[in-house]
Amino acid sequence: MTFFLDQDVPDDLTHWLRHRGHVVTCLREVLPTTTTDSDAWQWARVHGAVFVSCNRNDVLALRPEGEHPGIVILIRRRTRQAEIAAMQKLLTGAGGQGLTNNINFA
């Protein structure tokens, strides 16, 4: 799968996804860190990447319409391991098809 990670997503998740063979682009690698969530979402959409962010309220306000690669809102937890475990559970349960056209929580 292809993911686009917002600037607030922990680097540990970036490394974990890459280690499992996913294509991961971090916002800071391709856009200024001051990029709005709306512009970051558009970049992800154009590039066919699932948008991952911890900005629950801002991302929910995007209200994507039509087909899109998907959105994952990562809920911050006490440990990075717990955040990775939540993402793993989501990917195992939903898979790529389950993420497409949906807003998901991990």
Beta strands in the chain (DSSP E): 2-5, 23-26, 50-53, 71-73, 103-105
Q: What pLDDT, on a 0 to 100 scale, did the predictor assign at position 14? A: 97
**How many other β-carbons are positioned within 10 Å of the β-carbon of residue 27?**
23
**pLDDT tens column, 37-52:** 999 999 999 999 999 9
5: part of which helix (H) or strand (E)?
Answer: strand 2-5
pLDDT band at residue 20, thresholds of 50, 70 and 90? Answer: very high
Asked whether 49 and 72 are in contact (CB, 8 A), the reply is no
Hey, what are 26's tokens?
């971090």
**pLDDT tens column, 56-105:** 998 888 878 888 999 999 999 999 999 999 999 999 998 778 899 999 99
